[in-house]
Amino acid sequence: MSWINAVIQGILIGGLYALFACGLSLLFGVMNVINLAHGDLAVVAAYVALGVVAITHVPAVWAFLVVVPVFAVLGYVLQRTLFQASLNRSVLTTLLVTFGLSVVLENGMQQFLSANSHSIDIGTLVSASFSVGSQIRIAYLNLVILLVAVIVLLGLQFFLSSTKNGRLIRAVADDREAAQIAGVNYRHVFGISAAIAFGTVALAGIAFGMFSQFDPTIGTDQLLLFAFEAVVIGGLGSLWGTLGGGILLGIAQAIGANIKAADQVLAGQLLFLLILIVRPQGLTGRRERA
Amino acid sequence: MHHGQLQALHGVSLAVPAGSVHAMIGANGAGKSTLLRTIAGLHNPTTGSILLHGTDVTGLHPEQRVAAGIAMVPEGRRLFPTLTVEENLLVGLASARPGPWTIEGVYDLFEWMRERRGQHAAQLSGGEQQAVAIGRALVANPKVLLLDELSLGLAPVVVRRIYGLLPQLLASGVTVLLVEQDVSQALNVAAVVHCLLEGRITLEGEPAALTPAQIESAYFGVGRASRNGNGHALAVRGTEAPDTAVTETAITDSAVPESGADA
């Protein structure tokens, strides 16, 4: 029964990983750049949510209503300025810039917010759960986070497939130069993509902050890694693959933890390496054409 | 115009009167595509300028040039393979000018497209993809349409059918500058042909006034071809004639750092 429980808990946490990963995957699909500050941005969002709650005294659950739009705007502005300037030089420059941003964010948080752990207090909601059978308990929070992840991915799917800006994002991802001569301002499209990536990672960071303790270093040490693994396992450029990747990663970690608590992360990495060996294009990815 | 450290075009000047078809011919690597891409804004000329109906568009981004009235059908079609036919056409509306061409108009031009608009572009044949690429450029209602190697990889019968559309495009008020490796095709459709050799124009004139020997020597660089203007508004660098749709001047004298847009 404990194995079934591990799988169920893995599925629940997988939604959170997918929420972390979808922005990373989108940015990579559109501009071929991995944002190494992605995990740190999630942690910054969690801290900002703490601050919003402290100042406005709104219930913590609603902090995302402020933080997510702010991060979306921040994403657009950063993309049109810093990231675009680095992209104009080269992809490698952009990678270095996001790495530098990651270092700045992490150390800035350590400097000004201390290395202490925090969590976003949502009261008794964090431990509320219901039972399925005698052995399996499902926490409402985990279930809600999974549902939010699915809703966000559905929304993103709808946006990409059925709106004008979504269509332009797909066109730029297919062939940036062809999009330019068709009249598309790809810089604006990059900005919209970054806004989505920042908004979703902020949501993921807040959800993580409710569900677990966080500190300034966890963004790079865990969140970026998990997001990256979820993307690779699921296959680059596929939203549903990312959800599948997040869930598989969650299951692997839960099974690892079931064997020995310290093996949780290790089991996830082993699955990641296994996928890279046997199916490097990921679950849903197509093989790169030569 | 430089490609990295390589100078691809040397002092190329040409003027295309509104409502006409001009063709660039030349061997592989002569600079034909580079010239079109420079006019479309994908490369920046080292020196010189590009005028559209007398307005300087040299400093504009490609998408701004589309809004100004320059659209290109790129070499190799370059459709968005994961988008449907209709979505490909819709992308062409991004910076579209008002004008006679609409998506419905494109469907009227290519009847098969209406039924298959939901198909992914990757599933189309080469000729069908070329038609969608032309449609994607047309819906922007360009004043000047740049056609890069329409015939590449297509069956001769398909090529003839596509070039057979040119009169209809001209009737809608479009000016055409095309690049073509198939010299006989270019001579058939163009009012004026320009021959490029190693980045320089070696011959230009009305097809009827050019002898095969002239073209051959200009194309391959054997001997020296005489220039043949025949009274047309030709090769006037920086011309401001009101009937001039596009003037391309690209003189180079200094090396530039490699540009990100370079292939």
- Residue B133 domain-assigned (yes or no): no
Which ipTM did the prediction report? 0.87
For residues A54 and A58, give the distance between their C-alpha atoms in angstroms, rounded to a whole number: 8
Longest dimension (CA), chain B: 53
| Inter-chain residue contact A171 with B137, CB threshold 8 Å | no
- Residue B104 domain-assigned (yes or no): no
| Residues of chain A with C-beta less than 8 angstroms from the C-beta of B262 | none
- Identify which of B72, B81, B96 has the shortest CB distance to residue A181: B72
pLDDT value at residue A281: 86
Residues lower than pLDDT 50 in chain B: 224-245, 247-263
pLDDT of A135 higher than 90: no
For residues A187 and A76, give the distance between their C-alpha atoms in angstroms, rounded to a whole number: 10
CATH of the domain at B17: 3.40.50.300
| Residues of chain B with C-beta less than 8 angstroms from the C-beta of A171 | 80, 83, 87-88, 91
Size of interface A-B (CB pairs under 8 A): 80
pLDDT value at residue A235: 87
Q: Which domain holds residue B186?
A: 2-75+143-250
Structural domains in chain A? 2-278 (1.10.3470)
- Residue B124 domain-assigned (yes or no): no
Contacts of B212 (CB under 8 A, 6+ apart): none
Looking at the complex, report in whole angstroms how far the Cα of residue B210 sits from the nearest Cα belonging to chain A.
Answer: 33
pLDDT value at residue A261: 86
Closest CA to A175 of B147, B263, B164: B263
pLDDT value at residue A15: 92
- Residue B149 domain-assigned (yes or no): yes
For residues A18 and A154, give the distance between their C-alpha atoms in angstroms, rounded to a whole number: 12
- Residue B208 domain-assigned (yes or no): yes
Closest CA to B146 of B159, B155, B133, B127: B133
| Residues of chain B with C-beta less than 8 angstroms from the C-beta of A170 | 80, 82-83, 87
pLDDT value at residue A165: 96
| Residues of chain A with C-beta less than 8 angstroms from the C-beta of B142 | none
| Inter-chain residue contact B92 with A174, CB threshold 8 Å | no
| Residues of chain A with C-beta less than 8 angstroms from the C-beta of B130 | none
Name the residue with higher pLDDT: B66 or A130. Answer: B66
In this prediction, residues A79-89 reach a mean pLDDT of 95
- Residue B179 domain-assigned (yes or no): yes
pLDDT value at residue B27: 86
Looking at the complex, report in whole angstroms how far the Cα of residue B61 sits from the nearest Cα belonging to chain A.
Answer: 8
Quote the number of domains for chain B. 1
pTM (two decimals): 0.87
pLDDT value at residue A188: 97
In this prediction, residues A109-120 reach a mean pLDDT of 91
What Å distances lie between residue B186 and A248, B25, B151, B218, CA to CA? 58, 7, 10, 15
pLDDT value at residue B1: 58
Give A193-246 pLDDT, tens digit per residue. 999 999 999 999 999 999 899 999 999 889 999 999 999 999 887 888 999 999
pLDDT value at residue A143: 93
In this prediction, residues A150-172 reach a mean pLDDT of 95
Tell me if A27 sits within 8 A of A197, measured CB to CB: yes
- Residue B188 domain-assigned (yes or no): yes
pLDDT of A84 higher than 60: yes
